[in-house]
Amino acid sequence: MKSFLKNLEIILPLALLYVATTGVLFLAATQVYEPVSGFDSIQKGMLILLFPLLVKYVFQLVCSPLYSVVERVRKKAGTPGEPLSVSVLISAWNEEVGIERTIHSVLDTGYSRLQIVVINDGSTDATHEKVTRLKAEYEQEAVPGVSLEYLNLSNGGKRGP
């Protein structure tokens, strides 16, 4: 029953779009118009401007029912539904004030395949101690698929040509 309701949620808006489009095209084709002098150039200009939108709209209406078919084929083909792995690089030069909150913010995303790399470029404050403590705490309650790495480098300064 749930799949029927889900399909109905998808099909109903599409059906309404098809009905509305058919109605507009029917009215446009069956109405008798009296030409108004002086508006020929405006009509041609509007046609040139709006024709690409009309083509795009019709193309989307024709192709939208195919989306569900393509998705079913992908599922049957066994396309992996596993999320991609993401690496987040956090620069931490003299970031003792906000580094913990930044790392927790990234960890709280709940992403299942996550690599967090904190890079300390020779901080002169307590950034190193805070990140080291946070990394030790995290290793005790590690989440599978999520890693927290820490690089403590000496200050390299600005790099230039």
Helices of type H across 31-145: 40-77, 99-107, 127-140
DSSP state of 79: -
Q: Give the pTM.
A: 0.49
* Blockwise average pLDDT, block size 10, the chain, 161 residues: 69 84 84 78 84 89 82 74 84 86 89 89 86 87 85 72 51
pLDDT tens for 83-113 read 788 999 998 888 888 888 999 899 888 888 8
Q: What contacts 149, CB < 8 A, 6 or more positions away?
A: 115, 116, 117, 118
Q: 40-77 vs 2-30: helix axis angle to the nearest 10?
A: 160
The pLDDT score that the predictor gives to residue 79 is 57
- pLDDT, one tens digit per residue, over 50-63 is 889 889 988 888 88
* Residue 65 token pair: 């029912």
At residue 119's C-alpha, the angle toward residues 117 and 120, to 5°, is 150
- Helices 127-140 and 99-107 meet at what angle, rounded to 10? 30
Our CA dihedral for 91, 95, 100, 104, rounded to 10 degrees, sits at -40
Using DSSP's 3-state secondary structure scheme, residue 24 falls into helix
Q: Which helix (H) or strand (E) holds 25?
A: helix 2-30
Cα–Cα distance for residue pair 52/97, rounded to 1 Å? 53
- Domains in the chain and their CATH numbers? 2-77 (no CATH), 86-153 (3.30.110)
Kindly state the DSSP code that residue 36 receives in the 8-state scheme. -
pLDDT confidence of residue 5: 66
